[in-house]
Amino acid sequence: MGIDRALDISISGIDAQRRTMELIASNIANINTTRTMMGGPYRRQVAVLTDKPISFDQQLAAAENRLFGGSGGVEVADIVDDRTPFPKVYNPGHPDADSQGYVSLPNVNLATEMTDMVYVSKLYEANITAFNATKKMMQDTLQLQ
Amino acid sequence: MVEGIDPVRAADLRLSQLLGEDPLMAQVVPGMVPGDAPAAASAAPMQFTGSPFEDILGKAIESLNGVSRSEVYANQLIESYLQGQAELQDVMAAQAKMSVMMTLAVTSVNTAVNTFKEITQMQI
């Protein structure tokens, strides 16, 4: 209903950024993980985002008003593995070293994760700012006398 | 949200004092039962009396019923958050919406009451 939808869209953005942040935290935590359940070192994980379809009654209301476009917000469509190759480090004493003495390390780059983290936290803030601006608009409407 | 303060009850008390009688009281009571599920506390259908002022006030009080239901919903969300079943942002969003609805309801009741006061002060 009306302006409420803008609030829900902002909340979906907040949720998507929070989930992205979970993946970044997992990537940083596993930066030296050399063995996983799947075998081999940890693979960097990335979230794929998609726009949320508008619900049926919202679409109906939009059609009645001849207003099309927009989305119902954003959501995490999939969590995929980063396919870049693992860097190899010569460390023959390591239990996970191969026959040549090389250890495969996770394809996580700390600098990339840190920049992503700053970006995601700024996006999170941006969604909160949008939410608050919408709420301010609703409160301003109530000033109409 | 503060425990023990029911905004609907407070506003209703104020209104019934202003009106001297409370024909709308019966309509408000079902919505104020604490802990009532949002769906169960659906408001009675609005009856038009033909008296414009009473209708406006009736609508305002109906919106207070809506606030009461969204307050119950926000309270339930807090409980589910404490049990780990709801996300923090959903709880905060429900509270923000409730606060705007509350302001809307109070504004419409106050506008209706102010209009009523102006009519009573009319010099005939």
ipTM score of complex: 0.73
In a domain, B70, yes or no: yes
Q: Give me the amino acid identity at A77.
A: A
Residue A42 — pLDDT band, cuts 50, 70, 90?
very high
How many structural domains does chain B have?
1
- CA–CA min distance A142, chain B (Å): 6
Of the residues A12, A132, A135, the best mutation for testing chain B's interface (the one with the most B CB atoms within 10 Å of its CB) is: A135
pLDDT at B48: 65
A5 burial type by CB count under 10 A (0-12 exposed, 13-18 middle, 19+ buried): middle
* B107 touching chain A per CB within 8 A: yes
In a domain, B1, yes or no: no
Residue A56 — pLDDT band, cuts 50, 70, 90?
confident
Which spans in chain A are helix H?
4-29, 56-64, 110-141
Listed range (A100-109, A128-137, B109-118) with the worst mean pLDDT: B109-118
| A83 token code pair | 């396919």
Q: Count Cβ–Cβ pairs < 8 Å, chain A vs chain B.
A: 25
pLDDT at A67: 67
From CA A99, how far away is CA A90, in angstroms rounded? 11
pLDDT at B37: 40
SS3 A54: coil
Contact between B96 and A135 using a beta-carbon 8 Å cutoff: yes
In a domain, B2, yes or no: no
Planar angle of CA A9, B66, B94, nearest 5 degrees: 35
pLDDT at B13: 47
- CA–CA min distance B100, chain A (Å): 6
In a domain, B38, yes or no: no
Total-model pTM: 0.70
Confidence check: pLDDT of A30 > 60? yes
* B90 touching chain A per CB within 8 A: yes
In a domain, B67, yes or no: yes
pLDDT at A142: 87
From CA B57, how far away is CA B104, in angstroms rounded? 13
Residues of B in contact with A131 (CB under 8 A): 93, 96
Asked whether the beta carbons of A36 and A109 are under 8 A apart, the reply is: no
Among the listed residues A130, A137, A6, A21, the one whose alpha carbon sits nearest the alpha carbon of residue A70: A6
Q: Which domain holds residue B63?
A: 7-32+50-120
Tens of pLDDT along chain B (124 residues) come to 444 445 555 445 444 444 444 444 334 444 344 444 444 444 455 566 677 777 777 877 888 888 888 888 889 999 999 998 988 999 999 899 888 888 888 888 888 888 888 888 988 7
Asked whether the beta carbons of A75 and A52 are under 8 A apart, the reply is: yes
* A35 touching chain B per CB within 8 A: no
In a domain, B80, yes or no: yes
In a domain, B42, yes or no: no
A97 burial type by CB count under 10 A (0-12 exposed, 13-18 middle, 19+ buried): middle
In a domain, B23, yes or no: yes
A41 burial type by CB count under 10 A (0-12 exposed, 13-18 middle, 19+ buried): buried
For B93, which of A7, A18, A138 is closest by C-beta distance? A7
